[in-house]
Copies of this chain bind each other. A is one copy, B any other.
Amino acid sequence: MEKKLIVDVCLSPQLYPAYQKEDSIVVVIDVLRATSAMCTAFEFGVEKMIPVATLEEATEYKKNGFLVGAERNGIAIEGFDFGNSPYSYMTENIKGKTVVISTTNGTQAIEAARDAYKVVIGAFTNITSLCDWLLSQNRNVLLLCSGWKNRLNLEDSVFAGAVTERLIKNNAYQTGDAALAALFLYQQTQQSQVKFFHSSSHSKRLAAMGLKKDIKYCFSLDKTQIIPILEGKYLVKME
């Protein structure tokens, strides 16, 4: 029997060492809202992004004249240029610029996976181009969910299931247990979409902040064809 490629899901950055494989492409996922916002920023013409894990680093970049997005617990940090809302990146001001970004969970996940063979950014807003590209690579895939403070979150897990479903369609991949779990989860939520939207704890958190518009945007498919990819310390648009 031909040895198949493996797609698996890591549901928390903290578990990354248990899933790490040298030759895997890692897809970093933070649907609400970091990776959705990154896709938006590239769609609106940003040239490079520098994801940083700590606010100290973000502050240092800000002092040095960079545009900086900084968010913790769903709230944009005062004194920075952007938060974590995709809408904040829908501006001409970022065109051709380098933007630094630090968020509660997403940039920590990028940090965890920094040494992987390739690190790309996934969101519902770029899911089709992402999956088409993954299928063209003939590589093991690890879907790395940013979660919420090392805990699982529903929306990243469901997105991982959606990607898994697209990857296994042509029987090219076998699934790890976590990928299967995410797939079953995704399939179940497809039958009860509304319940799912209201159930996610971070959806509730954002809705309570009046950010329903953000939630709706972040769950929209294919707003862009761009796949951000990590090159050294920079995220750039994959050519």
Chain A window 1-24, contacts with chain B (Cβ cutoff 8 Å), 1 for yes, 0 for no: 000000001011011011100000
Count of chain A residues near B, Cβ 8 A = 32
A157 at the interface (CB under 8 A from B): yes
A200 at the interface (CB under 8 A from B): yes
> B17, B153, B188: which contacts A187 (Cβ < 8 A)?
B188
List the B residue with the shortest CB-CB distance to A8.
Answer: B151
Contact between B178 and A185 (Cβ–Cβ < 8 Å)?
no
A76 at the interface (CB under 8 A from B): no
Q: Which residues of chain A from 186 to 224 have any CB-CB distance to chain B below 8 Å in the complex?
A: 187-189, 196, 199-202
* Best-buried of A9, A185, A196, A202 by chain B (most CB within 10 Å): A185
Contact between B19 and A151 (Cβ–Cβ < 8 Å)?
yes
**Set of chain B residues within 8 Å of A153, measured between Cβ atoms:** 177
**Set of chain B residues within 8 Å of A157, measured between Cβ atoms:** 177, 181
Q: Which residues of chain A from 83 to 123 have any CB-CB distance to chain B below 8 Å in the complex?
A: none
Contact between A150 and B201 (Cβ–Cβ < 8 Å)?
no
A residues at B contact (CB < 8 Å):
9, 11-12, 14-15, 17-19, 148-154, 157, 175-178, 180-181, 184-185, 187-189, 196, 199-202
11 A-B pairs with CB atoms under 8 Å apart are A9-B152, A12-B18, A15-B15, A151-B177, A154-B180, A175-B199, A177-B202, A180-B199, A181-B185, A185-B185, A187-B188
